[in-house]
Structures are given as structure tokens and as C-alpha cells.
């Protein structure tokens, strides 16, 4: 049952990343936050009002709201509660570790990490937090062991097992009324320990400190996108009323109910799979921004303007926004002069696909795609590319041209494009659309263009000065 102390050292760094909610001190309160830490800039960007800053607190709040009900958020909240329970009990029992013992634990941990070939400076827990806060975590870790040792009357040489530590936390939660179910807590509260609430920002700071740079960048972009949308809405006198939010919820429910991809799952079930409920979605800043975007684009591009645009070049607009086709492909990558990465020339690719097409008499297109296709994005879906417009950007023009010449269920001959050769199958064809449906798609495209342009103009830079690609889509813009 017992596990060697040094064997448990390596996981400590990962656990530290999930527990560093705040510097630990004798006067600490549940989930306490260093204000200077939350206010530190992680990025800067350009807006119509000049340069603006994205702080760690801005990013932390977005992280907490979106991850609270997911596995990472639930685990982090559990650690946050554990940290406070240990802190309280250790201070009351007088077993808070000395500075020397904490430093010794840190030295042992560093030695184990180096022996494992890991670069300490590149570990997210240290990069996003710093050594001081890591030492604060390790103090809690040691205090937890000391509490178990004292309650079980263990000797100094006797080891404290993970099972003992877990049992102590379980009993501590039972002694102290802990609520960490988000459905039982007010918005903005991550947990309640006794009479004390742990703010959502504390959870967000914990998640931030354990995040990789790519995750941090994603939420920075989201904060910038949300700020930009809200600012543009204010400038144009656009608001998202409670009625607007309810209407958008109902629209999404209707769309989900009609979408065959969801296999009959209800809107509520789809949300639950993402850790959401309709009420929680309606409270989301992202959902509000998406609703604002729709109203803003509708105001900037009224129906009559879009009808006039449609009438001026109907054929071109229909190719972009008219009836779509559900297409599937088998793709074989090829070059005129093959190399180590692309091993086939076009003649061999064509030969492979002609042989593959002959097998369709006995096999399904989906099965052939799973075996033969080089397209990683569609291979495991049986080649299914989804619904694509005639002038879509998802497939090369020769492939789209061939697809639009097919009847439903038809399979093309081998099609050659710049990147290789294709077989394409038309799985489905949308019926003719009314003008209002076409206008709705035109507005969807305008929303995407608005977001991309806004993000490009923002010229986001990290605190270290490195540029983030501003035209990357964000969750707010999807």
C-alpha cells in the first residue's frame, strides 16, 4: 500500500500546476488571489480606442467559465477545495512546514525531473507561476502529509501513502460543509467551504497556471474577440436583450433537432455533453457576443441591401450561398516529382484510385475511403467532407466541378488537382432555397468576415512581444 517518497516526486510538478490557486500564507482566505498577479498583462492589442491590455485575470475568468464543468475544471476545483482544507487544518494543528523543509522538497523534485530528462524551465507549472508559488504549493503538500502523520501517529520514517492522503481529504470534506456543484452555487462562485465562497477567478487562475501556451493563446484571442464585438455593438447602438437571447436559444434548439448528424439527441443532451445547460449557455459571454454579432451584421447589412446584392449577380451568389452538396472523397497525395514525404507521382495516384473505384461494386465508398484516403481530416469519417457550397474553399475547384456534375449517390472518375488525385461522391443535394435562407447564409459569411477583419486589425502581441496570428478564428466568432 505504501509508495516510496521519491517515486511520488515526479507527479508533484503536474499536481502543482493544478493546485496553485494563490500564494499560501497564514492569513490566506479561501481561494485568495494576489491582485498583482491577476492584473499582470499577458497580451496587448490595438482597438479603435488605442492600445488595450489583456490581463491574467481576464483570461482566467474566461477559462473558469468555459472549463468549470469539464474534466479539467472539475479536477481543478477539487484541488482548490483540498488546498484550503489542508491550509486550515495545518494552521490549526500547528504543523505548517518550515521554509527549510519546503526548499528541501523542491530540491528533490528538481533533481528527479532532471534525472528524467525534463527541462524545468519549460514546465507549464513553473513557466506560468514561478518558483515562489511552486514553493507555496509544496508547503501545502508537506502540510497534508504532516496532518496525516499526526492523526495516524506515524513515525518520521513511516511513509504516507496516496490512499491515506485521499482518505484524509474525504473525511475533511465531511467535517466541513463543502459545495462544489456549480448548479448549487451562484454565478461567479467556484465552490463554498463552510461559510466562505471561493471566487470563480481563483479557479481561473489555477487553470491558467497549468495551461500550455497554445491554450493561453486561444483564450487571449477569445477575450480580444469578445471585447471587439461588444465595443462595435456599443458604437452602433446594438444590444442583446433577454428576448434576443431566448430567441437565439430556441433557434439553436430547432437547428439541433433537425440536424441528422446528432442522431436524435436533444438540444439539452448536446449541451450536457459539453458541460452546459441552456441557462448556463445564455449566461455565457460568448453566447451573448454571438447574438450581438448577428444583430450588428443585420443592422450594418439590412435585408434590402442583401437582396439587391443577390439580384445584381445571382449566379455568383448562389454558387457561394445557394444549395450545398454533402460530399465525400478518397484522396491520394501526389507530386510531379515524388519525395520521401510524398511517394507517388500522379500516374501512380490515378492508378490507385481507378483500382479503388472498381472495388465499389463490392465495398462501400466509406470503407474504401478509410483504407485508401490520404486525407487525415475525413479518412475516419469514411471520406465525408460535410455540406459544401459550389464555390467552397474546402476542396479544389476541379473536384467541386466534378461533384456538381454528379447525381445524388454518384461517384466521379479520377479527378486530378494540384495536391493529388480524388474520387468524389455526392452523398446529398440540398433543395432549392428561398431568398431569405440565402440571405441568412450571406449574413453568416459576413459575421465570419467581420471577426477575421477585427482580429487582424487587433495585431495581438503576447507580453513578450511575440505576435499572435490575429486572423485565427475564435470561439466567439464561430
Domain assignment present for residue 216? The answer is: no
Please check the confidence at residue 474 and state whether its pLDDT lies above 50: no
Going by C-alpha positions, the residue among 452, 398, 442, 405 that lies closest to residue 426 is: 405
User: Same domain, yes or no, for 420 and 457?
Assistant: no
The SS3 assignment for 190 reads strand
> In a 3-state reduction of DSSP, which class is residue 117?
coil
Same domain, 12 and 112: yes
- The CA distance from 78 to 96, in Å, is 21
Please check whether residues 184 and 235 belong to one and the same domain. no
Q: Are residues 201 and 298 in the same domain?
A: no
Question: Do the strands 178-179 and 189-193 form a parallel or antiparallel pair, or are they unpaired?
Answer: antiparallel
| Residues 235 and 329 placed together within one structural domain of the fold | no
Last residue of one domain, picked from the residues 211, 239, 274: 211
Domain boundary among 182, 211, 240: 211
**Rounded Cα–Cα distance for residues 332 and 351 (Å):** 10
Give the separation between CA 258 and CA 345, rounded to whole angstroms.
Answer: 43
Total domains present in the chain: 3
pLDDT of 381 reads 94
How many residues can be counted in the chain?
478
Quick: pLDDT tens for 206-261. Answer: 898 888 888 999 999 999 999 999 999 999 999 999 999 999 999 999 988 887 76
User: Taking 70 as the threshold, does the pLDDT of residue 404 lie above it?
Assistant: yes
In percent, the amount of the chain with pLDDT more than 70 equals 88
> Is residue 355 in some structural domain?
yes
- Provide the pLDDT for residue 215: 92
Residues 82 and 18 sit within 8 Å (Cβ to Cβ): no
Residue 383 lies in domain: 323-429
- Residues 439 and 359 placed together within one structural domain of the fold: no
Q: Are 386 and 392 in contact (CB under 8 A)?
A: no
Helix (H) or strand (E) holding 228: helix 213-235
Q: Are residues 406 and 443 in the same domain?
A: no
Across the beta sheet with 41-47, the strand order is 50-55, 41-47, 461-462
| One domain for residues 119 and 233 | no
- Domain annotation covers residue 218: no
1, part of any domain: no
pLDDT value at residue 124: 61
For cell 455565457, name the residue: 284
Q: Flag whether pLDDT at 186 surpasses 60.
A: yes
Same structural domain, 159 and 62: yes
Please tell me whether residues 420 and 385 are part of one structural domain. yes
Instruction: Judge contact between 447 and 299, C-beta under 8 A.
Output: no
Confidence (pLDDT) at 26: 32
Summarised one tens digit per residue, pLDDT across range 153-172 is 988 788 899 999 999 999 99
Alpha-carbon torsion angle 304, 309, 312, 314, nearest 10:
-110
Nearest to 299 by CA among 244, 224, 242, 222: 244
Decide if 217 is inside a domain.
no
Tell me: do 154 and 12 sit in the same domain.
yes
Phi, psi for residue 387 in degrees, rounded to 5: -90, 125
Largest CA distance in the chain: 87
Q: What is the pLDDT of residues 83-128, one digit of tens each?
A: 999 999 999 999 999 999 999 988 888 888 888 888 777 666 666 6
Residue where a domain stops, chosen among 211, 246, 264: 211
> Residue 464 — pLDDT band, cuts 50, 70, 90?
confident
Query: Cell numbers 473525511 correspond to what residue?
Result: 171
Residue 349, number of CB atoms within 10 A of its CB = 23
SS3 55: strand
pLDDT number for residue 201:
92
**Does 178 or 118 have the greater pLDDT score?**
178
Domain with residue 366: its CATH number is: 3.10.50.40
Long-range pairs of 452-457 with CB within 8 A, sequence gap ≥ 24: 452/477, 454/225, 454/228, 454/229, 454/232, 455/221, 455/224, 455/225, 455/228, 457/46
Give the pLDDT band of residue 400 (cuts 50, 70, 90). Answer: very high
pLDDT band at 280 (very low <50, low <70, confident <90, very high): confident
Please tell me what DSSP assigns to residue 180: -
Residues 306 and 448 in one domain: yes
Residue 152 CB partners (closer than 8 Å, separation 6+): 164
In a domain, 219, yes or no: no
Query: What pLDDT was estimated at residue 165?
Result: 93
Mean pLDDT, rounded, of the chain: 87
What is the pLDDT confidence band of residue 10, given thresholds at 50, 70 and 90? very low
Give pTM, 2 decimals.
Answer: 0.78
Of residues 134, 132, 153, the one with CA closest to residue 142: 134
- Examine residue 419 and state whether it is found in any structural domain, yes or no: yes
| The pLDDT of residue 33 is above 70 | no
**Dist CA 394 CA 411 (whole Å):** 18
Amino acid at each position: 500500500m505504501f509508495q516510496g517518497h521519491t517515486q511520488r516526486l515526479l507527479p508533484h510538478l503536474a499536481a502543482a500546476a493544478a493546485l496553485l490557486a494563490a500564494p499560501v500564507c497564514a492569513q490566506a482566505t479561501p481561494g485568495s488571489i494576489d491582485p498583482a498577479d491577476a492584473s499582470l498583462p499577458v497580451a496587448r492589442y490595438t482597438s479603435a480606442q488605442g492600445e488595450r491590455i489583456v490581463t491574467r485575470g481576464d483570461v482566467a475568468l474566461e477559462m473558469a467559465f468555459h472549463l468549470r464543468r469539464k474534466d479539467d475544471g472539475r479536477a481543478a476545483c477539487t484541488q482548490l477545495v483540498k488546498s484550503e482544507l489542508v491550509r486550515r487544518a495545518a494552521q490549526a494543528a500547528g504543523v505548517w512546514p518550515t521554509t527549510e523543509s519546503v526548499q528541501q522538497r523542491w530540491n528533490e523534485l528538481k533533481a528527479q525531473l532532471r534525472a528524467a530528462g525534463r527541462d524545468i524551465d519549460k514546465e507549464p507549472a513553473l513557466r506560468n507561476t514561478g518558483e515562489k508559488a511552486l514553493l507555496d504549493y509544496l508547503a501545502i503538500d508537506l502540510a497534508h502529509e504532516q496532518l496525516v502523520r499526526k492523526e495516524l501517529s506515524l513515525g518520521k520514517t513511516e511513509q504516507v501513502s496516496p490512499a491515506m492522503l485521499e482518505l484524509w481529504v474525504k473525511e475533511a470534506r465531511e467535517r466541513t460543509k463543502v459545495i462544489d456543484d456549480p448548479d448549487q452555487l451562484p454565478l461567479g462562485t467556484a465552490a463554498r467551504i463552510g461559510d466562505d465562497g471561493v471566487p470563480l477567478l481563483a479557479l481561473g487562475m489555477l487553470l491558467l497556471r497549468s495551461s500550455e501556451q497554445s491554450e493561453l493563446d486561444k483564450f487571449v484571442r477569445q477575450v480580444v474577440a469578445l471585447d471587439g464585438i461588444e465595443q462595435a455593438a456599443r458604437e452602433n447602438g446594438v444590444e442583446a436583450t433577454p428576448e434576443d437571447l431566448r430567441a437565439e436559444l430556441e433557434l439553436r434548439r430547432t437547428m439541433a433537432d433537425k440536424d441528422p448528424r446528432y442522431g436524435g439527441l436533444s438540444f439539452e443532451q448536446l449541451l450536457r455533453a459539453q458541460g452546459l445547460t441552456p441557462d448556463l449557455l445564455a449566461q455565457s459571454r460568448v453566447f451573448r457576443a454571438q447574438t450581438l454579432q448577428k444583430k450588428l451584421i443585420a443592422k450594418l447589412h439590412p435585408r434590402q441591401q442583401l437582396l439587391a446584392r443577390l439580384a445584381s449577380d445571382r449566379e455568383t451568389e448562389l454558387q457561394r450561398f445557394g444549395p450545398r452538396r454533402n460530399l465525400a472523397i478518397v484522396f491520394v497525395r501526389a507530386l510531379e516529382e515524388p519525395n520521401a514525404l510524398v511517394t507517388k507521382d500522379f500516374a501512380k495516384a490515378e492508378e490507385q484510385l481507378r483500382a479503388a473505384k472498381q472495388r465499389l461494386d463490392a465495398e462501400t465508398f466509406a470503407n474504401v475511403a478509410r483504407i485508401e484516403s490520404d486525407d487525415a481530416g475525413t479518412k475516419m469519417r469514411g471520406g465525408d467532407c460535410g455540406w459544401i457550397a459550389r464555390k467552397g474553399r474546402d476542396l479544389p475547384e476541379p473536384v467541386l466541378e466534378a461533384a456538381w456534375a454528379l447525381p445524388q449517390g454518384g461517384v466521379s472518375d479520377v479527378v486530378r488537382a494540384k495536391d493529388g488525385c480524388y474520387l468524389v461522391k455526392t452523398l446529398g443535394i440540398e433543395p432549392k432555397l428561398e431568398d431569405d435562407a440565402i440571405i441568412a447564409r450571406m449574413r453568416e459569411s459576413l459575421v465570419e468576415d467581420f471577426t477575421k477583419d477585427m482580429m487582424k486589425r487587433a495585431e495581438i502581441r503576447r507580453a513578450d512581444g511575440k505576435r499572435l496570428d490575429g486572423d485565427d478564428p475564435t470561439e466567439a466568432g464561430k
